[in-house]
Amino acid sequence: MNSMNIQRIRRTLRGLCVLWAMFSVSAYSQENVINLYSSRHYNTDEALYTNFTRQTGIRINRIEAPEDALIERLRNEGTASPADVLITVDAGRLTRAEELGLLQGVQSSTLESRIPAHLRHPAGLWFGFSTRARVIVYNKSAVNPTEITSYEGLADPKWKSRICMRSSTNMYNLSLMSALIEHHGEAQAQQWAQGVVANFARAPKGGDTDQLKSVAAGECALTLANTYYVVRLMKSTRPDERAIIEKLGVIWPNQDSTGTHINISGAGVVRNAPHRAAAIKFLEYLASDEAQRYFADGNNEFTVVTTTKVENRELSALGRFKPDTLNVRRLGQHQASAQKIYDRAGWR
């Protein structure tokens, strides 16, 4: 072999080495990023994402939008979607994404061992990472808490003109109705809705915090609210919000029967995720003690990993309770029936 051929071979080998290095860097960068579609709008989640990147080297690109808009975007993007993970609030929306075929199944011993079965999809299409409970909130000067112990009790005629609620189209109320359908059947759920509507102090309006303000102001005596909103007021340093929470008490419904209704913030890997391995690592991180503490201490949500120690004094001050262990997937599967029941009852 002459020197010219040897030089050609060397140049070829050097070129191959350069190409391989470029390929390796490209592959590494591709695996070290996830594209996250998120409807969570909390500033405290910043620390969650930052620490995931610090631990794994995986960068997070975020697209944030309301829940339904994100699901619609995923559906329109189809197989060309760059999304790796969808994270959103409420099992109803996760079920909708599932039914549209937007998510793929994940098998992970970490997720299966740390997240209770009733807080995740049976086939691993999505997983709950934090929960909120829907509690009865009352005006302490107007209600003796022993007078009502269940959701069903809200339909008792003794509460006529004393209940405030938000719209029936709100996902929280749809999920609660879905749980009632699962536990009691549609006929009894219909009777309950009619009974509650008959007890309205005013037409439904506003969000959970608005209901709490109405109860504190004496516009009504009772409402339903997610614990997240109650704790947010408990932690407030604003005098007006402190005055509101001081007038309110909390009841854990159905402690002697089905347990208090809960819902989730959850996430799943998108069907055509370009960075599937990194996406699964992110889900596993969300189930870690560190991430679970962020959900609780930073955003007033209950952990799904019950052994995680948290420092949120206000959240802990609400006390321990028996949650409803109905698989939250069922909450999404009854949504259409729930809305029909509310409509027939005149719950607008």
- Domain at 132-260+328-345, CATH class: alpha beta
Which parts of the chain have pLDDT scores under 50?
4-6, 9-10, 12-29
User: Hey, what amino acid is at 235?
Assistant: K
Report the distance separating Cα 110 and Cα 163, nearest Å.
43
The pLDDT tens digits for 3-18 are: 544 455 445 444 433 3
Paired residues of 36 in beta bridges: 62, 85
Q: Cβ-count burial of 59 within 10 angstroms (0-12 exposed, 13-18 middle, 19+ buried)?
A: middle
Where are the domains positioned within the chain? 33-131+262-308, 132-260+328-345
CA distances from 106 to 35, 120, 154, 273, 290 (A): 17, 11, 40, 12, 22
Instruction: For residue 72, count other CB atoms closer than 10 A to its CB.
Output: 13
Burial (0-12, 13-18, 19+ Cβ within 10 Å), 14? exposed
Which pLDDT belongs to residue 140?
98
Superfamily of domain 33-131+262-308: Periplasmic binding protein-like II (3.40.190.10)
Contacts of 191 (CB under 8 A, 6+ apart): 155
Mean pLDDT over each residue of the chain, to the nearest integer: 91
Tell me the whole-structure pTM to 2 decimals: 0.87
DSSP 72-95: HHHHHHGGG----EEEEE-HHHHH
What is the pLDDT, as a whole number, of residue 30?
Answer: 54
Give Cα separations from 257 to 42, 74, 78, 253 (angstroms): 34, 39, 43, 9
Distances from the Cα of 227 to the Cα of 14, 43, 275, angstroms: 63, 19, 35
Q: How many CA atoms lie within 13 A of 41 on its CB side?
A: 5
Q: Check residue 117 and give its pLDDT.
A: 96
Place of tokens 């930052």: 50
pLDDT at 11: 52
CATH topology match: 33-131+262-308 vs 132-260+328-345: yes
Question: What backbone torsions phi and psi does residue 309 show, to the nearest 5 degrees?
Answer: -90, 130
| Per-residue pLDDT reduced to its tens digit, 272-306 | 999 999 999 999 999 999 999 999 999 999 999 98
Task: Give the per-residue pLDDT at 282.
Answer: 97
Show the tokens assigned to 131: 């929960």
Residue 294 and residue 300 in contact, taking contact as beta carbons nearer than 8 Å = no
